[in-house]
Structures are given as structure tokens and as C-alpha cells.
Structure 1
Amino acid sequence: MSDARDQRLPEDETELAVEGALRPGSLAEFIGQMKVRAQLQLLLDAARIQQRPADHILLSGPPGLGKTTLAMIVAHESERPLRMSSGPAIQHAGDLAALLSSLVPGEVLFIDEIHRMARSAEEMLYLAMEDFRIDIMVGKGAGATSIPLDLAPFTLVGATTRSGLLPNPLRDRFGFTAHLEYYEPSELEQVIARSAVMLDVDVPAASRAEIARRSRGTPRIANRLLRRVRDYVIVHGGSSTQASTSDVSAALELYDVDDLGLDRLDRAVLDAVVRRFRGGPVGLNTLAVTVGEEADTIESVVEPYLVRIGFMGRTPRGRVATPEAYAHLGIPRHDGALTLDDL
């Protein structure tokens, strides 16, 4: 692993610049996801030896685990240019045709949230991925004609938080599919240690463990919490750049991050299920309206962690709070509350 001390951040940093600078630049620097890293390394090495573009890659998993970073690494280690787009930005087949036709040979195309592409664009992508060509329709009605357009060979890297929404024909055209798992606390401590050096803040082992414990198994959250702790030390630490465990606790309490890493929205969702709906079951859309948030955000960002730590269950009848959720909120569980076993 290269020495992070040689990669200190510029003084005129912004949040986006910081987040980008903290990304590892190679598979060797990438922490965690050992099996996925080994699989990707083999795929890239084989493509390099055969002097061909790497097979198409699908990366799935919850937000913040490194899908975008891995796409950048694929381009870097392949020594190929990277083109970035997103599913919501490709709402017509023409959008995709313009993107694909402008690719240079061997270019890596990264499409984030690929499951949100328009259906017409997905169908065009089938042929592009398989045969490196697309058919462009000219005209309308009975006089419409199809003109084939050859494309430069490319590698598609798709990222999705909802792989189940991808149609099978699209999923089957990826040569390699990887699912990224949540990080262990020890792995997050390594992420925090590397980032702390780049942020020029001293974070002892006990403080790293405290931040990791509240990071929900997600490197992006770990780095974000570390930046808030760094800010707290800059403001309240005087001449010291060391973040003590009390600094960590004070900083994260200020930003409404509790001992388990639950933030304001997490607690609002739990509180709504427990207080407003007496433990559930409650439907996703009803819950979203109650807390004033998008249903997709609750389903893809909030729920996975609450389910993983055993605070919420998803049932055919709706969401249900567990006894552990009542205990965490400090709310007595009423006699009529349902449990997962009741549903």
C-alpha cells in the first residue's frame, strides 16, 4: 500500500474534493472486500495479458461501500479513460446512443444506479454490450428504418443498490457480478487511519474504534464522521490535533449520531413506527409521508441498517419495530405490540 502521508489534502479543500481525495487509487490501496478485490484483479490481469477490454462488470450493494471507487480503479488499472454517467440521466434511447457513440476504444463507461435507466435505453444496451453495436431508428411509423452503428469496444461498469430491479437480460450480459458487503469494525478502523493521515489529524486507536462503531459498516459514513471530528478538534482542541474519545463523542453528539450510529432520520423512522403506529405493521409509503422523506431513501438507506441490527423487520403487511428498537428509544413496549413471530 502506498504511503498516505504523501497524499495530504490541499488547503483549499471542499467537501467533494475531500471525498474524492480520500478514495484509494488502486486495488492494493482499497481496504476490505477481499474476495471482490481478488476477483477484479484476476479479471483485469487477464484482460491486460490478452490486450483486450475487460469484461463488463456489475457492482451491487448498499450505498457508500466503494462501487464508484472500484469503477475508477478499474479504469486506472486498465490504463483506460473513464466516462461517468448515471441511470436517471439516461431517460431516452437517444441519450444512451449519444453516450455510446462517443466512446473511444477500450474506454470504461461507468453508469451509477443503472437500475434507474429508461426501459428503451436498457434494451439498446443489450446489443451494445454483446456485439458493440446499436441500431438507430430513423423516421416514424411504417417508413421507419433501422441503421446499424458500430461502437468502439468498451467496458461497462454498472453500479446498483437494487440489483433485483435489473431485468435478467441485462444482468446476464455482465461478465462479472460482485456484491459488496458491509465492513467489519476492524476494516473501518483501517479506513479511518488512512484518511486521518490525509486529513492531518491524530486519531488514536480508541478514537478510531469509536468512530468505526458508529459508522454503520460503511466507509463513506466513516470518512464523513471523521471529517466532523476533525472539525471539532480544529475548533475546540486549541493547538492539539489529537482527537480523543471524548472529542469523538462530543462531535458526533452535536451531529445527532448516537452510540450505534443512528442519525436523526433513523430515529425518526423508528419513533414513527413505535409511537405513531404502535410498533407496526406500517406500509413504506405511509412511513415516508410521516417522516417527510422519500420512500426510496428509507428503503435503500435507512431500512437496511435497521434490519441488520435487529431494530426493524420487513413483513408482507409492512414494517415492524422489534423489542430492541423499543429498548434503544427508551420507550416501554405496550402489550398489544406485534412481533415478527406474529406476522
Structure 2
Amino acid sequence: MVATKSETEIRLLAEVRTVLAYAAETGDCARLVELAEQTVRNREIGDSVRLSVECDVQALLSWARAFADSAVAWGRLERRAAALLPEDDPTLMSIRSMHAQYVRRRGEPGDEELGVLMYQDEWNRRVEHLGRDDPRTGIARTNLALALRERGRPDDVDDALRILEEETLSRVDRHGAGHPFTWRAQIILAQTKVRAAERAPDEETRERHAREALDIAGALLGARRRRYGGSDKSTLNARLVHAQALLVLGRTAEAAAELREVRTIPRRPGMDPGWPEFLLARALTRDEPTEALTHARKALDLRRRYYPRGSRQVREARDLVRELGGIA
């Protein structure tokens, strides 16, 4: 049973949430780090709340450093949290999930497999402690689908699609089609359909998956722009999925136009490094190979800052540079 928070803890968390929104937009973590240091000194703050603030700080710091360094930091925080908190504590659940995310994204041999196992374990724990219908269990299930998609074994993308379609329908039923919690599952579903299209065994299946992804991403874009405008991170990610679907359908001019516009908007902390540049290079490969090479080199440079040299992300960017006649 989770302990009731004190008034001091409630006030601290309210300030943290305010500062967190500012730091997420600007990347300025100074005040958030200061708040975390205050929690260490304040004996009125319990372990769960203190570690929750540390979790928020680590999440933002992780946006600006190599994924390998973040995986180490999250591993340390998980060990501390596991020693202090009960298994069903929401803070411990969040920390375990973040650790799994950065292990998966680290890009070392075996990390994609380890990410699947970590997400599977977390989903099982949440089913046990929270039940299948709790939104936090749904988050773990969606993360498991994402990890399966990235592992990429022969049946993984199909399994990920099945999980995401079920989870999306569940969220629509419980929260409605216009709820941001539903949108999160839908954008991962759309991106997974793009991945399925890229690996499709025939043109009919390829086009079907790509058109479905385009429809989902397009609907999300309209809804998010009306509510949040066009420059927040999730809206930009939806635009990138939309552009990637256009690429798969061979509509390269439309994809290039959308990607050029995305690149005029300041990059938001936490976005996948090099993704817009990589897609734009692909869109320009046939008609503007010189400019395409410039963007491919930029994508490779950005990915090398976050991923190890042997990771899939670096390899595919390096291959594209070489395909365009550059030296990687």
C-alpha cells in the first residue's frame, strides 16, 4: 500500500511539475537539480518522493548525453530505489521502465534483446501489482511492443502490431479517441506500421501498412495542432512518422517538403537524434544527391554522439553516406 503524501511532499511535487515543464521545453535543468538537492537535505521528504524527483532529473539529463552513460545512471538509480521501496511503488516502476528504455537504446550487442526481457518483466510486475486495466500497465505493454519492434526478429513486428492495436482499442474505449494517452499508443502504432511496410514481402502489403500509418499520423497531427500547436515534441514526432510513410509510398517530394519544414522548428530535447536528417537524406537521394549527402552526414554525426559505432542507428546512417558517394 502506497503511503499518503505529506503537505510538504505535495508542495514539492507541485513545484517540480511546474519546473519540469519549463525544463522539458528549454533543456535548462538548473532549478530541477536544485530541487533534487533540497529533497536530499529535507527529512520530511520520504524515499518515494525523493527518488521521484531524482527520476525527473535523470530523465532530463538523459536527453543530452550518450545513451550508454544514461543506461549506467539509470542502473544505479534502480538499484538504490529497489533497496528502499516496495515492489508496487510507482516511483520504482517508473525508474525500472526508464532503465529498460536506455538499455534498449544504448545500441550495444544484445541490448535490444535485453530491452525486450526488461520490458516483459516490468509488464508482468504491473499486471501482478496493478492489474491489467491500470493505465501504468498499459504503458508497460506499449513499451514492450516498441522493444519487440526494435529487436526485429521475423515475427517481432507482427507481434508488436497486435499488441499496439489491442492497446489502442483499449485506450479509445476507456479514455476516448481525443485523449493524449490514446495518442501516445497511436503514434507508436503508426511508426510500427511504417516499419512493417518497409519489411513487407510484397507491394500490396507494403502499401496497405504505409497508408494506414499515413492516416493515423495525419489524424494525430490535426488533433495535436489544434490542442498544442505545431512545435511540441510529440507533434514533431508525428510529422516525422507521417513523412516516413510518404517516403515508403514513393511520395518523396511531399516527404521532403514536410521534413524541410520540421527542420526549421527548433529541435526539442529528447527527440531521436538524427532522425529528421536521415529521412530528409533518403527523400532527396534520387533528385538532389549532393544535398542528400549533406543531410546524411549530419544524421551520422548526430547519431555518433549518442550511439556506439556498431549500433544499428549508426550503421544505417553510415551506409546511407556511403551509398551517396561520401566517406563515413
Q: Under a length normalisation based on structure 1, what TM-score does the superposition of the two structures give?
A: 0.30
Q: Which has the higher contact order (CA 8 A, sep 6+)?
A: 1
Tell me which structure has the larger Cα radius of gyration. Answer: 1
* Structure with the largest fraction of strand: 1
